[in-house]
Amino acid sequence: MNGKRIGITIAKIGGGALLLLAVVLGIRRFCIESLRISTNAMEQAILSGDYVLVNKLPTEANPGRNRVILFKSPLRRDSVAAPLFVSRLIGMPGDTVTVEENLFLINGKQLPKAPTTMATYFVSKELEGIIRSLANKLAIPLREWKSETFGFTFTITTLEEYKLREELPDGSNKHFVQEPAEEYSIIVPKKGIAYRINETSLKACREILLHETNGKAVFRDNKLFLDGRETNFFYFKHDYYWVLSDHAKYAVDSRHLGFIPDNLILGNVWFCWKSNDPERMFKTID
CATH architecture of the domain with range 33-101+188-284: Ribbon (2.10)
Percent of the chain scoring above 70 in pLDDT: 88
Print burial letters for 103-129: b (CB count within 10 Å at least 16), e (below 16): ebbbeeeebebbebbbbbbbbbeebee
| Domain spans of the chain, in order of start | 33-101+188-284, 118-178
pLDDT at 250 over 90: no
pLDDT at 22 over 80: no
* Biggest alpha carbon–alpha carbon distance for the chain: 93
Q: Kindly report the average pLDDT of the chain as a whole number.
A: 87
pLDDT at residue number 4: 56
- Could you please report the per-residue DSSP string of 115-173? TT-EEEEEEEGGGHHHHHHHHHHTT---EEEEE-SSEEEEEEEHHHHHHHHHHSPTT-G
Task: Give the pLDDT confidence of 24-33 residue by residue, as tens digits.
Answer: 444 556 588 9
pLDDT at residue number 68: 94
pLDDT at 19 over 90: no
Q: pTM for the complete prediction? A: 0.81
Q: Identify the bridge partners of residue 51 per DSSP, sorted by sequence position.
A: 36, 274
Task: Give the pLDDT confidence of 166-179 residue by residue, as tens digits.
Answer: 999 888 888 999 98
- Dihedral of CA atoms 233, 235, 241, 243 in degrees, nearest 10, equals -30
Percent of the chain scoring above 90 in pLDDT: 57
CB 273 within 8 Å of CB 32: no
Confidence of residue 182 (pLDDT cuts 50, 70, 90): confident
Query: Considering only 70-79, 131-140, 168-177, 231-240, which range has the smallest mean pLDDT?
Result: 70-79
